[in-house]
């Protein structure tokens, strides 16, 4: 049985920008303005990076007319900026959390070198996708990003009853998803979301083992 959920099919049921809000209160992905979460990311070679995610009080109206919440994601290694990303999210009336796009910049030696992966809902052929289903039932798949050739991430719900131990604590009844990208078919990422907290752990599988875990606040 197929559980594929086309984000576009959901979008057709929505009248327009007025069906979305910047108040994102999904149990597994609450994005409350002022929230700050810090993660430790370790790659397959053992290199460590620090990831800081801040839910800002800023909003952005994307090209499609939807107003999204701005979330800033900065990555540093040994105190040096590696990546700086501004993500835009909105929640619809049914409770689905949508990803409206991102402006991302990679840095080397303090200088910007790439903006690969940036996209915006309504610009060229890029369209928004769902990053968290209102009701994440096991087996359901969904398009997270829909920018052909640029950003094509997809997700699938695997479990709602995992247990996770990270520096921030022990979490039960955790939601587990698998993310992948057709542009990088060998890469899989498993994400774990705790109720009332959001992402607590991400495990990358691509011939190695990347790990991103939530640190105590």
- Token readout for 80 is 């040096």
Under 8 Å between Cβ of 201 and 189: no
Strand partners, 92: 20
65: number of Cβ within 10 Å: 12
Nearest to 37 by CA among 72, 80, 89: 72
Under 8 Å between Cβ of 71 and 98: no
**CA 163/CA 160 separation, integer angstroms:** 9
Tell the CATH topology of 4-214.
Answer: YmcC-like fold (2.40.360)
| Main-chain dihedrals φ then ψ at residue 14, nearest 5 degrees | -100, 135
pLDDT digit string, tens, across residues 105-164:
999 999 999 998 898 999 988 889 999 999 999 999 999 877 777 667 899 999 999 999
**CA 56/CA 170 separation, integer angstroms:** 27
pLDDT digit string, tens, across residues 45-57:
888 999 999 999 9
Under 8 Å between Cβ of 123 and 146: no
Distances (CA, A) of 34 to 21, 72, 99: 17, 11, 19
| Main-chain dihedrals φ then ψ at residue 9, nearest 5 degrees | -65, -40
Q: Helix, strand, coil: what percent of the chain each, to 5? A: 5, 60, 35
pLDDT digit string, tens, across residues 27-79:
999 999 999 999 999 987 888 999 999 999 999 999 999 999 999 999 999 99
Under 8 Å between Cβ of 37 and 53: yes
pLDDT digit string, tens, across residues 156-202:
999 999 999 999 999 999 999 999 887 777 778 999 999 999 999 99
Q: To 5 degrees, how large is the angle CA 169–CA 174–CA 176?
A: 120
Under 8 Å between Cβ of 122 and 147: no
Predicted TM-score (pTM) of this structure: 0.89
């Amino acid at each position: 049985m197929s559980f594929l959920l086309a984000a576009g099919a959901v979008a057709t049921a929505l009248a327009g920008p007025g069906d979305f809000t910047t108040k994102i209160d999904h149990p597994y992905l609450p994005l409350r303005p002022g929230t700050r979460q810090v993660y430790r990311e370790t790659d397959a070679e053992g290199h460590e990076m620090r990831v800081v995610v801040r839910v800002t009080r800023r909003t952005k109206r994307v090209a499609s007319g939807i107003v999204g919440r701005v979330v800033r994601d900065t990555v540093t290694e040994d105190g040096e900026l590696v990546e700086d990303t501004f993500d835009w999210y909105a929640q619809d009336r049914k409770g689905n959390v949508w990803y409206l796009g991102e402006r991302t910049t990679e840095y080397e030696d303090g200088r910007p070198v790439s903006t690969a992966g940036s996209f915006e809902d309504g610009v060229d052929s890029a369209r928004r996708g769902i990053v968290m289903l209102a009701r994440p039932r096991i087996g359901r798949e969904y398009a997270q990003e829909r920018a052909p050739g640029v950003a094509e991430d997809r997700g699938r719900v695997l479990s709602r009853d995992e247990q996770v131990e990270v520096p921030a604590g022990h979490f039960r009844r955790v939601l587990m998803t698998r993310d992948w990208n057709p542009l990088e078919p060998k890469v899989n990422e498993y994400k774990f979301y705790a109720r009332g907290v959001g992402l607590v752990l991400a495990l990358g599988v691509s011939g190695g083992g990347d790990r991103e875990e939530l640190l105590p606040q």
